Chains A and B, each alone.
Chain A
Amino acid sequence: MSTGFVFALTGAALFALGVAGVVLIGHLLRRILAFNLMGSGTYLVLVGLAQRHDVPDPVPQAMVLTGIVVAVAATALALALVRKLHALTGQVELPDDANG
């Protein structure tokens, strides 16, 4: 089993962990962290599987680099929205929309 494959397996586990977190956790800050975990898992799968030949494939590596930057932007925007929500309502969870 190559190192790249171990990366890819870890990435798959991290992604599933992140999905479970996004679905199950109500606290928005922790949900954002779980969302980032999903992203990190995806990057590990991409980079890990790109290494399964003698010469690593540079295209997935460039995609991951782009993805990281976009994820940073999305995370910062999400944090700003959570801060605004906290300032307006004092809550850090989304309201229950069972009756909405």
Chain B
Amino acid sequence: MKRMVVALVVTLALAFVLLLTGAMLELGPVAIDLRAPVAAHLAQSGVSHPVTAVLLNYRGYDTLLEIAVLLLALLAILAVVGDTAATRPMASHPVLQMLARLATPLMIVVAIYLLWAGAFRPGGAFQAGAVLAAAAVLLHLVGLLPGWSTPGLRLRIGLVAGFALFLAVATGLLMHGTLLQYPPAAAGVLILLIEAGLTVSLALILAGLFLFLAREEAA
């Protein structure tokens, strides 16, 4: 019985791959081509890199809800894990600790560069936040940063700052017309402001996804 199920699933998966390959080989013309509109409005979007323009200007809703989803996931994790004692960092090899101490300032510089570069080349808030969070995880793994226990007030403010700032800008723009429709003159500054807030919050949230889970169960 079990073997039949496995054979059935594998056959279906292979059939799916073949079907999809066939479909991709016979791909027709694009029904909705968004490249031209994206390029046409790039000058008004405040940034010169099309992906950043899509993420933070044309499809600002997606990014707003994306940070909300991350925050929600973190809250759910805090609710699931419950109250536990903060773990002490494990003693690690001094060479590893030395390397992490050297790498962390470099990672912070790289994150700031990525944030700045997002306006005109690949980069942006999410990449910068991921690099910062990676630095925190690295410090935790070599035993320099303890796992986080229940967040205090400052950490809570940091976690929601990006979402709150984004929401404040969005509702502020509502007075001028539409939600999340930046005036072209101020778009560049507003996007950089939102991205800076997003970077801080994303770094804390992504690091929190790891560091809150790194705690030992108090059982």
- Contacts from A to B (Cβ < 8 Å): 5, 8-9, 12-13, 16-17, 19-20, 23-24, 49, 52-53, 55, 57-59, 61-63, 65-66, 69-70, 72-74, 76-77, 79-81, 83-84, 87
Contact = CB atoms under 8 A, between A and B. Distances in A.
Nearest to A77: B73
Contact of A76 (B5, B34, B77): B77
A9 B21 contact: yes
A57 B35 contact: yes
Interface stretch (B49-57, B85-93, B106-114, B143-151): B49-57
A98 to B, nearest CB: 12
Contacts, number: 100
A16 B74 CA distance: 30
Contacts of B14: 16
Contacts of A87: 217, 219
A79 B81 CA distance: 11
Contacts of A16: 13-14, 16-17
Choose among B5, B9, B34, B219 the residue with the greatest number of A CB atoms under 10 Å from its CB: B9
Interface size grouping (class) on chain B: 35 or more
A76 B66 contact: no
Given A66-B55, A83-B213, A19 B66 contact: no
A23 B210 CA distance: 27
Nearest to A23: B9
Interface in B71-89: 72-74, 76-77, 80-81
Contacts of A12: 16-17, 20-21, 24
A7 B99 CA distance: 35
5 contacts: A8-B24, A16-B13, A17-B13, A73-B72, A81-B80
Contact of A73 (B17, B53, B54, B209): B209
B10 A20 contact: yes
A24 B6 contact: yes
Contacts of B175: none
Nearest to B218: A87
B27 interface: yes
Interface string B197-219: 00000100010011001000101
Contacts of A17: 13
B34 to A, nearest CB: 5
B66 A66 contact: yes
Contacts of A49: 24, 27
B76 A77 contact: yes
A22 to B, nearest CB: 10
B17 A13 contact: yes
Given A70-B66, A83-B81, 14 more contacts: A16-B13, A24-B5, A57-B33, A58-B35, A59-B38, A65-B126, A66-B55, A69-B69, A69-B126, A73-B73, A76-B74, A76-B210, A76-B213, A83-B217
